[in-house]
Structure 1
């Protein structure tokens, strides 16, 4: 069961007044290990912390299989904007974590048998 960082890269943010638009596209899988529902989330971090302005950038998969036999790999896109980041080098990370609400975590795979992409763009905000 993998939790934590999957990939990271450093981005040189040119202006403090801009936002970073981040995207991840790829294959995800979560498999429950018992008969309880399970949930995992994939999310971005900026210098080790989740975005707070305007909100976290995340996607989640919840499975309520009932007999723990589902093994479906799904395409997922996680896209969002993060503002309030300083000018300069920003460590952008992509990670797996637990869902809120006390759900059991599942056994996850990310990018299985397919290409995955992280795209980072600096964009103006009004």
Structure 2
């Protein structure tokens, strides 16, 4: 758990250090559920921590998973992890000038003098189905 919280802080600092970055440019990791024990004076047989992790599409998923495995191994015997939901799809909408869709969209915005910025929208969990 300490390594996960260190990673979270590292990502928070990355976000804060560069004003051009948005939430979608960093991986978010939030502890959402913590379970263990039956009463205050008994050591728990089992302890569970649930994390909501939003991995930015620019992060190598296999490398991230290796890091999770290392955290568990370093924590000691019996520490494991599993995914409740695992989406390894890293598709992003192309936004380069040579992409016909993006080029037409960008031209339309500029023609109408709309100000815009490109951004990874990290909270759009179901958007992956649109991109596929």
| Fold match (TM-score > 0.5) | no
Q: Which has the larger radius of gyration?
A: 2
TM-score normalised by L of structure 1: 0.29
Q: Please state which structure has a larger fraction of its residues in helix.
A: 2
Higher relative contact order (Cα pairs below 8 Å, separated by 6+ residues)? 1
